[in-house]
């Protein structure tokens, strides 16, 4: 009653053989393809990742192609996926793979973990999915499935819960099909054992599930989120001359590092943001021409853009004037890409 049946992994695998989702990265498994798709899927839903994945492989078919590309090309291919450090780490890792491993991704946990951006989940996913090694790959989906299945009531945001779930999966995973088992857990979590109101009627593990039997599937898993998104106001200056726009490159560290954006100021109120912008960049601003709220994981930007009627870029900033075509090829910082698109389509408030 308080433990799932010992043969649940086999039941799950049978379900997976019948219900696995058709996804582009499952068609031809290579370590590189697995790597790219898993990095994309870290903070992005499967449906949104599809097009990015296909486009990425056309542009960068091999680790060497990523290694040889300019960072700006890589960031441009990533534009819209967010969390740009993932793209930068992917490129840095492929540069090391090209330089130190002759372009072959190593099939070894220690070697993988030493590469940029590779944590326990990534290493487990690459080793199990691409090399069929029996290593767990515990993401949020797997934590949810296992918490419900075993009736775990501790906070899954804690490292201890992740460690214990990883140990459990390592012990129970079928040694001959570790990749399929890991992906089956992910698919079950993504399509059946979903957050809030799971689809238990479709679940192959219902008879095993401690949470289901106790009527507690809506309470589990316990997930305590402590960080509240911080609200910041961002005032943006649009400076256009003869069809070219002035952009600045953000600093190499911090949020949206090295991405391009329209000059901006920030503050805790709209007036403070405007004052910051006029002090740093644009002593004279016209009427607001565009407004948008952009939600990041830990921050919300309440943005308002205005045409500048005078501009004085600070000396140490890296700036450039770009035509519409050039603008669309630059790696633009998240919401600034939307502002650029709105300006070029002339969708602004006049």
Chain residues binding ligand ADE by CB under 6 A are 38, 41, 46, 139, 183, 186-187, 190
What string of DSSP letters covers 15-61?
HHHHH----HHHHS--HHHHHHHHHHHTSS-HHHHHHHHHHHHHH--
- Residue 18 has a CB neighbour count (10 Å cut-off) of 7
Residue among 50 and 213 whose Cβ is closer to ligand ADE: 50
Would you say 120 or 313 has its CB closer to ligand ADE? 120
CB of 41 to ligand ADE, least distance (A): 4
Closest residue to ligand ADE using C-beta atoms? 41
| CA separation, residue 344 to residues 28, 182, 289, 320, 329 (Å) | 39, 45, 13, 17, 13
Give the number of residues written for the chain: 350
* Residue 92 C-beta: closest distance to ligand ADE, Å: 21
User: CB of residue 81 vs ligand ADE: minimum separation in angstroms?
Assistant: 14
Q: Which is nearer to ligand ADE, 41 or 135 (CB)?
A: 41
We find the least distance from the C-beta atom of residue 186 to ligand ADE, in angstroms, to be 4
Q: Kindly list the distances between the CA atom of residue 232 and the CA atoms of 20, 66, 266, in Å, as whole numbers in the listed order.
A: 42, 35, 7
Please say which residue, 143 or 186, places its beta carbon nearer to ligand ADE: 186
Cβ atoms of 21 and 187 within 8 Å: the answer is yes
291 classed as catalytic: no
205 — phi, psi (to 5°)? -110, 15
Question: In the complex with ligand ADE, which residue's Cβ is closer, 127 or 186?
Answer: 186
* Catalytic residue from among 27, 38, 47, 96: 38
What Cα–Cα distance (Å) separates residue 258 from each residue in 134, 217, 238, 269, 272? Answer: 38, 43, 19, 26, 25
Minimum CB separation of residue 333 from ligand ADE in Å reads 26
Residue appearing with tokens 């479709």:
202
Collapsed DSSP state (helix, strand, coil) of residue 70: coil
The residues that are catalytic are: 38
């Amino acid at each position: 009653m308080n433990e799932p049946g010992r043969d649940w992994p086999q039941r799950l695998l049978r379900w997976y053989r019948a219900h696995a989702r058709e996804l582009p990265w499952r068609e031809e498994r290579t370590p590189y393809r697995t790597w790219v798709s898993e990095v994309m899927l870290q903070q992005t839903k499967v449906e949104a990742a599809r097009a990015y994945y296909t486009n990425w492989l056309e542009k960068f078919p091999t680790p060497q192609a990523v290694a040889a590309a300019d960072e700006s090309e890589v960031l441009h291919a990533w534009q819209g996926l967010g969390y740009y450090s993932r793209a930068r780490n992917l490129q840095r890792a492929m540069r090391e793979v090209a330089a130190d491993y002759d372009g072959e991704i190593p099939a070894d946990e220690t070697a993988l973990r030493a590469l940029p951006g590779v944590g326990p989940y990534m290493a487990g996913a690459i080793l199990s999915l691409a090399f069929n090694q029996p290593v767990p790959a515990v993401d949020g989906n797997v934590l949810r499935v296992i918490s419900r299945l075993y009736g775990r009531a501790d906070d899954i945001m804690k490292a201890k819960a992740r460690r214990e779930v990883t140990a459990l999966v390592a012990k129970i995973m079928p040694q001959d099909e570790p990749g399929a088992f890991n992906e089956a857990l992910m698919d079950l979590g993504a399509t059946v054992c979903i957050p809030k109101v799971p689809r238990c009627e479709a679940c192959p593990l219902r008879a095993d599930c401690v949470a289901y039997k106790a009527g507690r599937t809506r309470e589990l898993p316990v997930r305590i989120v402590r960080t509240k998104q911080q609200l910041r106001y961002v005032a943006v200056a649009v400076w256009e001359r003869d069809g070219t726009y002035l952009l600045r490159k953000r600093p190499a560290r911090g949020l949206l590092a090295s991405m391009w954006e329209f000059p901006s100021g920030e503050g805790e109120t709209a007036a403070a943001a405007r004052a910051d912008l006029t002090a740093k960049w644009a002593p004279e601003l016209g009427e607001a021409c565009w407004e948008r709220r952009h939600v990041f994981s830990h921050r919300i930007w309440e943005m308002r853009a205005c045409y500048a009627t005078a501009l004085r870029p600070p000396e140490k900033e890296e700036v450039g004037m770009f035509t519409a075509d050039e603008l669309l090829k630059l790696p633009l910082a998240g919401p600034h890409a939307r502002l650029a698109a709105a300006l070029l389509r002339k969708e602004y408030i006049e």
